[in-house]
Amino acid sequence: MTQRPDLLPRHDWTRADIAALYDLPLDSLMARALEVKRANWPDGKIQKSQLLSIKTGGCAEDCGYCSQSAHFDTGLDAGKLMPLDEVVTSARRAKENGADRFCMGAAWRSLKDRDLPKVAAMISAVKAEGLETCVTLGMLEDGQAEALKQAGLDYYNHNLDTSPEYYGTVVSTRTYEDRLETLGRARHAGIKLCCGGILGMGESREDRIGLIHELSKLAPHPESVPVNMLVPIEGTPLGQSAPLSVIEMARAIAVCRIVFPQSWVRLSAGREGMTEEGQAMCLLAGANSIFVGDRLLTTDNPDADEDAALMKDMGLEAASHKDMEHGRNKVTLIG
């Protein structure tokens, strides 16, 4: 007896393969994604994650979607690194509200050695609260990833954002190779990767396919793949972007679920602008984690009552990463 290969991770995806998935009729695509999800993850369960901005604004990067860039006038004031006790208080509150994963983001081009001990202390303190930990701190230099790992870090978030071809339209201060290098440093230190992208930045479907293809080339695959819908911010170059359809968002999530069968696929930014039905479609497409709390760094997010109603209507139960990963269904066998 062998495991069905179409339900397991593979690293030989081509752009043509991924394009063929993308072009399937939506019902066929979602049915396939659901089959993959059921083969690798327990039914009816979802992980709640919460994201905290530990240092807001004043970033030297010019990412065209970001309110925190010092290059754009968005009305956001730059702040200092948050004190440790405030981070711990936020983490405890997140856990009380059902979050199992706590992410900390700092608006930096790169992590400075002088800030490393403070961030390491935050990671250790949040880990001590029984939460899975994730940080996004910009680019990493030699030795920094190892220090973060020693502090107890589970995941490092560093998105590719979009395809290599479209990337230069969005960012000019950091190259695609810079991003891949940081991912490599985190991986070498034994940290799991949280790496995805943002949809709705004016890119084509071919660019969305290109993004997923680039992620599929990482070996092993990122253990976490966040799929964000652009939240246009006034004052940024992408502030007037046309909205992406929820159907296109769900299509991308379904493709990610098929290509990354054993990775978390996280329905991330953009839920605030979706109807309950739109969010349900994205979850049915294969997402198995959502970000909760009223803010995602600097953008709005649905409140706790809305999330509770959504989960009740869908019959979903919040679960820990341990329960979900250890309770994975056995992949279908063929003889």
* 273 within domain boundaries: yes
Q: Domain of residue 164: give its range.
A: 16-325
256 is catalytic: no
Q: What is the pLDDT of residues 126-149, one digit of tens each?
A: 999 999 999 999 999 999 999 999
Average pLDDT over residues 245-253: 96
Q: What is the pLDDT of residues 20-39, one digit of tens each?
A: 999 999 999 999 999 999 99
CA distances from 284 to 111, 138, 306 (A): 37, 32, 18
Is residue 329 within 8 Å of 42, Cβ to Cβ?
A: yes
* 255 within domain boundaries: yes
**What's the rounded Cα separation, in Å, for the pair 316 and 45?**
6
Instruction: Enter the tokens of residue 34.
Output: 């659901």
19: confidence class by pLDDT, cuts 50, 70, 90: very high
List 4, 15, 32, 59, catalytic entry:
59
Q: What is the pLDDT of residues 182-206, one digit of tens each?
A: 999 999 999 999 999 999 999 999 9
* 5 within domain boundaries: no
pLDDT score for 5? 81
Average pLDDT over residues 228-233: 90
* 11 within domain boundaries: no
List 32, 134, 185, 195, catalytic entry:
134
List 103, 195, 256, 282, catalytic entry:
103
Could you tell me which residue, 214 or 270, shows the higher pLDDT?
214
* 266 within domain boundaries: yes
* 245 within domain boundaries: yes
List 101, 185, 208, 266, catalytic entry:
266
Q: What are the helix (H) ranges across 159-303?
A: 164-170, 176-188, 205-216, 246-259, 276-284
For residue 4, which amino acid is it?
A: R
- DSSP 8-state class, residue 59: B
328: confidence class by pLDDT, cuts 50, 70, 90: low
CA distances from 23 to 29, 39, 197 (A): 8, 23, 20
pLDDT at 235 over 70: yes
For 82-86, 95-99, 329-333, which range has the lowest pLDDT when averaged over its residues? 329-333
333-334 and 2-3 beta bridge pairing: antiparallel
**What's the rounded Cα separation, in Å, for the pair 179 and 139?**
7
pLDDT at 291 over 60: yes
**What's the rounded Cα separation, in Å, for the pair 60 and 108?**
7
Average pLDDT over residues 64-91: 85
194 is catalytic: yes
For 7-11, 68-72, 119-123, 177-181, which range has the lowest pLDDT when averaged over its residues? 68-72
**What's the rounded Cα separation, in Å, for the pair 184 and 178?**
10
* 240 within domain boundaries: yes
Q: What CATH code is carried by the domain that includes residue 242?
A: 3.20.20.70
**What's the rounded Cα separation, in Å, for the pair 242 and 248?**
13
Number of domain units in the chain? 1
* 332 within domain boundaries: no
Q: Is 0.75 topped by the overall pTM?
A: yes
**What's the rounded Cα separation, in Å, for the pair 296 and 317?**
22
Percentage above 90 pLDDT, the chain: 67
pLDDT at 76 over 90: no
List 101, 179, 185, 194, catalytic entry:
194
282 is catalytic: no
Percentage above 70 pLDDT, the chain: 93
335: confidence class by pLDDT, cuts 50, 70, 90: very low
- The backbone torsions φ and ψ at residue 233, rounded to the nearest 5 degrees and listed phi first, read -110, 125
